Amino acid sequence: MSEPVDQSKVSVDKEERPKACCVCKDEKSARDECLLFKGTADDSGYVKCKDLIEKYKSCMKGHGFEVK
């Protein structure tokens, strides 16, 4: 049988974490602009905006969010 989760720790973590819409705004804007104007892949299948996408994912992960 599993141990009960300490709810005080869970609620504090959720309260301290900012909303996803409020973090990584610069990275998100750069990623979105690249995807809008350059698309996702060229004829060879190379993802044109991969670096910007990875920067955005890394930034979000640093704030406790998981982006797939």
Q: Is 10 exposed, middle or buried (0-12, 13-18, 19+ CB in 10 A)?
A: exposed
Q: Is 34 annotated as a binding residue?
A: no
Q: Is 24 annotated as a binding residue?
A: no
Compute CA distances 65 → 22, 46, 54, whole Å.
Answer: 12, 26, 14
Q: How far is CA 25 from the centre of its chain?
A: 10
Residue set of the binding site: 21-22
Residue set of the binding site for Cu cation: 21-22
